[in-house]
Amino acid sequence: MRMWMGRWMAVLVLASGLGLAGCSSDPEEGSDDVGVEDSSEQPDADRDADVQPGEPVRFVIRNAGESTIYVQDNSYADYGLAWLEVRFDGEELALSDTCMPCSCGDPEPCGVCDAPLPSVIALAPGEEVRHTWEGIYYRVDFTQEPSCTQASSVGEASFSAELCYATALDSEEDNLISREDMVCQSFEAALGDEDVELIVGML
C-alpha cells in the first residue's frame, strides 16, 4: 500500500500491542537523543563527477514502541540497506556501487568482493535507523567490454520507497529477520522532500 502524506509518515501499530515509550506528539522532538544508526555514505567525487547530486531526502525507521524491532542491514544479496528499497520507473535501484564492476572509464582494476554476510540492526525503544540519499544510483552497463558501472540520478522525478522491519529474528539464523514477522510500508517521494519516515508503535 502506498501513501501520499504531507510528511510522508506512516504510523503503524503492531498487532502485538506495542505502546508508546514517552513519545511526544511531535515525532521530530528528541529524534537525535539516542540509538541513531546512520547508514548514509558520502558520494565518491571521482566516480560521480559527471552526475550531480540533488537535494537530499532522508529515510528513517524509528521505534516509538516498547519492544525491540529489527531491520536487515546486509542480506545474502545486499551490502547494507537491505531494509530500504527504492524504485524508479519500475526498476529497483542500487543505491551503492559497493562490489559492483569498475566505474565506466575507470582505468584502474577494481578489487574483488566476497559475498555479503547477513547482519541485523536491533532497534530498542527510542532508537532509529536512517539513510540520507541524494538521488544517485548505479547500474551495470553490459554493452561495454568489459562490463562497467554507470552512475545516474533520478533528478526531480518522483520515486517509490519501501521501508521494512520485523518484530522477531529468524528462528534458525539470528543474522536474518523473520520473514513471517516482517512489516513493510511503501511511500511516494521526491528529492528534497521532508523525511520519508516509518514510525513503529505510535498511536
H helices of 18-176, where?
none
For residue 159, how far is the Cα from the chain centroid? 13
DSSP category for residue 188: E
Cβ 110 vs Cβ 101: under 8 Å = yes
pLDDT of residue 8: 35
Q: pLDDT tens digits, the chain, 203 residues: what are they?
A: 333 333 333 333 333 333 333 333 333 333 333 456 665 554 443 445 578 899 999 999 999 999 999 999 998 888 889 999 999 998 999 999 888 888 887 766 777 788 788 999 999 999 999 999 999 999 999 998 888 999 999 999 999 999 999 999 999 998 999 999 999 999 999 999 999 999 998 75
Q: How far, in Å, CA of 59 to CA of 86, rounded? A: 10
- 3-state SS string for 19-63: CCCCCCCCCCCCCCCCCEEECCCCCCCCCCCCCCCCCCEEEEEEE
- pTM greater than 0.85 (yes/no): no
Q: How far, in Å, CA of 40 to CA of 164, rounded? A: 17
Cβ 170 vs Cβ 64: under 8 Å = no
Q: How far, in Å, CA of 36 to CA of 194, rounded? A: 18
pLDDT of residue 7: 33
pLDDT of residue 71: 97
- Give me 119's grid cell: 547482519
Question: Where in the sequence is the domain holding 16, given as residue range(s)?
Answer: 2-105+114-200
pLDDT of residue 29: 38
Number of domains in the chain: 1
pLDDT of residue 1: 35
pLDDT of residue 157: 94
